[in-house]
Amino acid sequence: MKNERGRVLVVNPNSNRAVTELFSAELEPLRFADGPEIVCETLAEGPLGIESELHVAMVAVPLRKLILERNDADAFVIACYSDPGLYVCREATPKPVFGIQSCGISLALSLGERYGVLALKTASIKRHLRYLRQLGLVDRLAGERPLDLSVAESAEGEHTFGRLVEVGTALRDKDGADVLLLGCAGLSRHRRPLEEELGIPVVDPVQAAVAMAVSTVRFRRTTR
């Protein structure tokens, strides 16, 4: 039976359930009493972390399959910062499909003047820059700097917050960023403390994308 309120399906393309649970908990504020349901799932076929071009490529077809199977959802969010399979999925369905990097930058551009990105690793930056050129959103990039953490460390590690403060400070003070973007799906819980610590807005890309999905569903389902 179809959900009356509508449903947003958020898919974690890596198979690490801990990450899915982490960001799901941080989506609580978007679970309105009468708003769309927000369901988070883990892609069984995904690698443990998406850290290479191979990983990005591997998950595109399984993501498409999942999206085609889930008739119960009204909108989809692909919750990995590399936006894997975004165009493949969009091609497969008339329903809206959101990529978190694209949405995260969109929100950052609406909150500040120049955005700085906290990437997990140096190696990801090259891939991200290529995608930024593709998105045509390079002009207001203040800089992207690596945390030099693995996906696992970023999820658990004690010193993750310390690194976020350190790298975020450099983006703010050396690169001139006045809004920051977390460059990974597993850092949501640090968004608010980091914002308070640094005094400039911090965007979590999963939250940014799910908020867009929630309102899009709402506008499509509600009768005036």
Q: Does 214 bind a second copy (CB under 8 A)?
A: yes
Tokens of 182: 């977390």
Stretch near a second copy under the rule CB under 8 A, chosen from 38-46, 86-94, 145-153, 154-162: 86-94
Sole binder of a second copy in the list 92, 152, 165, 170 (CB under 8 A): 92
The alpha carbon torsion through 204, 133, 118, 188 (nearest 10 deg) reads: 20
Under the binding rule (CB under 8 A), the answer on residue 219 touching a second copy is yes
Kindly state whether residue 163 participates in binding a second copy, applying the rule CB under 8 A: no
CB of 54 to a second copy, least distance (A): 5
Is 113 among the residues that bind a second copy (CB under 8 A)?
Answer: yes
Q: Of residues 57-76, which lie at the interface with a second copy (CB under 8 A)?
A: 57-58, 60-61, 64
Q: Whose Cβ is closer to a second copy: residue 11's or residue 208's?
A: 208
Cα dihedral 169/173/174/179 (nearest 10): 80
- Of the candidates 96, 143, 146, 157, which one interacts with a second copy according to CB under 8 A? 96
CB 201 within 8 A of CB 111: yes
Q: Does 48 bind a second copy (CB under 8 A)?
A: no
Q: How far is CA 19 from CA 93, 115, 151, in A?
A: 26, 25, 9
Q: How far is the CB of 115 from a second copy (least distance, A)?
A: 11
In this structure, are residues 190 and 166 in contact, taking their beta carbons and an 8 Å threshold? no
| Order of all β-strands in the sheet with 37-42 | 37-42, 7-12, 75-78, 97-99
Contact window for a second copy (CB under 8 A) among 7-15, 28-36, 148-156, 159-167: 28-36
- 3-class SS at 147? coil
CB of 163 to a second copy, least distance (A): 21
* Residue 104 one-letter amino acid: G
